[in-house]
Structure 1
Amino acid sequence: MSFSRRDVLSAGLRGAVALGGLASLASLAQAQGSGTPIRILVGFPAGGGSDAIARTLADKLKDELGMPVVVENRGGAGGQIAAQALKAAAPDGHTLFLSHDHSISILPQVVKNPGFNPATDFVAVAGFATFANALALSGGTPAKTVNEYVNWVRSKGGGKGTIGIPAPASIPEFLVKMVGDKYKLDLQSAPYRGSAPMMADMLGNQINAGIGSVPDFIENHKAGKLRIVATIGARRQALLPQVPTFAELGFANLDDLPYYGIFAPVGTPQAFIDRFGAALSKVLAMPDVRSKLTALGLAVGFEPQGQFAGRVRSYTQTWERIIKASGFKAQ
């Protein structure tokens, strides 16, 4: 990043209080000029939906920013490990976190000591997409709809069944409980360390069903290897016009869509946040990027820092109400 003489003079005129900030910006500019890469942390293993999204963006961001951008997978604990790494990182613009809603909005509500507080440890940089969670059935399951699945569980397992989820104490886990409660089934969650291992077991018919994101399922759904049978959201997904929403099936309070966005350690210079946001906006406007992300089941749309921060707050509050109503206790 470079700063003009006018920028430096303007900053200097703000007085002694601003000198520390100016020094920080100068250090940032020097560091970025050295070729030190920007790390984009991903809280799930390689091969999952979040990893594919991060690599698609990183490939283009390196050209827009004029510096290396690398994806670093810190899988485990539903993104908790990556979030802790972000908190520990220097706020110099070289470490970012690409995350969906789980790590930011849900984990702090379901884990007693997550090791980070998004409200005080992180700053929203920009949002870039929303998506839908979905219930999918493995190829070895004969059911083709939710009602057929419910009847199959009743006939085959006496009303008992297992549904895979990509992380414990996640929205998919709450959805498993909601499905079980509505249809009076004894459904248990089978938590995995990310969507990739869950998908492997679904494709191998080790588990009969899973709840995750549409990006996790969409390619195998298209290939006929599994079947998405319901999605959250106020309307059907453009890629899945034949698949009903949970709302159509009688479930309430499932209209808000999960988000994807970029976060940085608190204290990261605003100049870098603005620059990165501008680069991300340009990347998202590229037809090939939009095509790849849309094919993964995302609704792509750039949200600048303030707008995205507002979405995160609203979504967090919605699920805070749902989690409290469920009686779930932080563990």
Structure 2
Amino acid sequence: MGGLFSRQISRRSLGVVARSLAVGVLGAAMLAGAAQAQNNTVRLLVGFPPGGGTDAIARMLAEKLKDQLGSSVIVDNRAGAGGQIAAQVLKTAHPDGTTFFLTHDHTISILPQVVKNPGFDPAKDFVAVAGFATFVNALAVSGGTPAKSVNDYVAWVKSAQAGKGTVGVPAPASVPEFLVKLIGQKYAVDLQAAPYRGSAPMIGDMLGNQIAAGVGSIPDFIENHKAGKIRVVAVLGGTRQALLPDVPTFAELGLAGFEDVPYYGIFAPAGTPKAAIDKFAEAVSKVVAMPDVRDRLTAMGLTVGYMSPSQLASREQAYTKVWAKIIKDSGFQPQ
């Protein structure tokens, strides 16, 4: 009797153990699957807050890239310091092909030249992945001013503001800030740049007539310009923009030296495997070749054009060299 009871207990124990093992194996498999899904998620860093031009571009591309990569692509906004915070995050990210940084010229080419300790060195810490567009910056005035041209704006500053004006810029020590200084010098008015944490809050203040003018990119301004809420009065670059055929270039107005236009590109942490870089670059090339993507980017004021990793690296180096001279000639001291 005792032996039979013992054998029954043993069978029951074995059954419990077997079920426990099965549950454990299933749980481990589920955890492994979740971990794998998480590891397959691609993070696209953006150095500016939601609502601005760069964020809008990143979210549009992320939606298309996920199909090309076969992975989820999330936009991770690390706003602040003109993209410096996001760049520092990229530097410390594990170079496994799951973290990339979508940015424009300021963070990569300008910021390391105007900040003493940016916390990253693009030449050592990053690797170029793909470029997809160029764009131009512009001067725009708010609806609260009567100005319809640069000359109108200057006249208004002189008459209504005692010769002193404040112009918003998306980031400190940026191309827009240098442009504000040069505009003031050319027209003999005291213009002071007011740095914001990205274009979205700057444009918000322009729409609320808290600030009379701003310098930013065409993608930042174009929708509100079309709506008549702000007015773009001059653009950089060597030629007028197709979206703004009636708006003169600064070169036409006698302010030369800003013909080399900025770029948008994607970068990865140094050490990222070449296979991962090539895969992402190929995905970008396919996405920007899509007619609907090209149309949407063009409508935002971008000139769409794919750049391979080597082409983006060359573009970044050339642009950095151009601005090294402008910054030096301006007498600006890194802060």
The C-alpha deviation readout for 1:83-137, integer Å capped at 9, x for no partner, is 0000010100111000000000000000000000001000000100000000000
Check the 8 A contact 2:39/2:98 in 1, yes or no.
no
Moved over 6 A (4+): 31-34
Q: In structure 1, how many angstroms separate the alpha carbons of the residues matched to 2:156 and 2:54? A: 32
The one-letter amino acid of 2:88's match is Q
Match of 2:271? Answer: 267
Q: Is the 8 A contact 2:224 2:230 kept in 1?
A: yes
Change (3 A) 1:32 1:56: farther
Unaligned runs of 5+ in 2: 1-34
Report the residue type matching 1:131 in the other structure. Answer: F
Name the structure 2 match of 1:169: 173
One-letter amino acid of the structure 2 residue matched with residue 265 of structure 1: P
Residue 230 of structure 1 aligns to a residue whose secondary structure is strand
1:107–1:114 Cα contact (<8 Å) kept: yes
Counterpart in the other structure of 2:197: 193
User: 2:148 is matched with which residue?
Assistant: 144
Structure 1 residue 33, shift from structure 2 partner: 7.1
TM-score (norm 1): 0.90
Q: Distance in 1 between matches of 2:149 and 2:62?
A: 37
1:206 match: 210
Aligned residue pair count: 301
RMSD: 1.0
Whether 1:101 and 2:105 are equivalent positions in the alignment is yes
- The gaps in structure 1 that reach 5 residues or longer are 1-30
| Aligned twin of 2:164 | 160
Take 2:314 and 2:287, find their aligned partners in 1: how far apart are those partners? Answer: 22
Identical-residue share of aligned pairs (%): 70
1:252 is displaced (CA, Å) by 1.5
Alignment correspondent of 1:229: 233
* 3-state SS in 1 of match to 2:194: strand
Q: Measure the CA separation in 2 of the matches of 1:107 and 1:303.
A: 22
Q: Do 1:127 and 1:262's aligned partners in 2 also have CA atoms closer than 8 Å? A: yes
**1-structure distance, mates of 2:55, 2:155:** 35
Separation in 2 of the partners of 1:32 and 1:113?
37
Equivalent residue, structure 2, for 1:28: none
Alpha-carbon separation, structure 2, partners of 1:193 and 1:34: 30
Alignment-mate amino acid for residue 223 of structure 1? A
Cα distance in 1 between the residues matched to 2:37 and 2:67: 14
Shift of 1:196: 0.4
Distance in 2 (CA, whole Å) between partners of 1:137 and 1:196 is: 15
Instruction: Show the counterpart of 2:255.
Output: 251
Counterpart position of 1:330 = 334
CA distance in structure 2 between the aligned counterparts of 1:37 and 1:49, rounded to whole angstroms: 24
SS at match of 2:247: coil
